[in-house]
Amino acid sequence: KEHPLDRELAAEHYRALKEDDPDGDVQRKLLRYIPERAANTVRFETALANTDVPLSFLWGMRDPVSGAAIAGELRTRMPGADLVEYADAGHCPHIEIPDRVAADILQRTAI
């Protein structure tokens, strides 16, 4: 891997999420979007496809779950969307290549 996720950095992020969680159940809370996404798929996809808001996706192509396959879906379903493909990043480009991601966000949000 060119940009491996450092185990200590990952642990630090997880500790930061848990720090203010009185239930100590941050993992379940973070993953509750999965059934919500399934229940509202048509609603979410319709909103994205029909918005007048410019869309930008910064995508880690090495993500084994939602990398290249989902990027292909985005290109097909939303050809007008801005899609930045990071060929050398996985699921967490903002952690793996933070300087590039920050620059791309700033470029797209500058007034």
Average pLDDT, the chain: 87
Integer Cα distance of 52 and 35 in angstroms: 27
More confident residue, 82 or 25: 82
pLDDT tens digits along 65-76: 899 999 999 999
Provide the greatest CA pair distance for the chain. 43
∠82-86-92 over CA atoms, to 5°? 105
- C-alpha distances out from residue 72 to 8, 32, 67, 80, 85, Å: 32, 26, 9, 13, 10
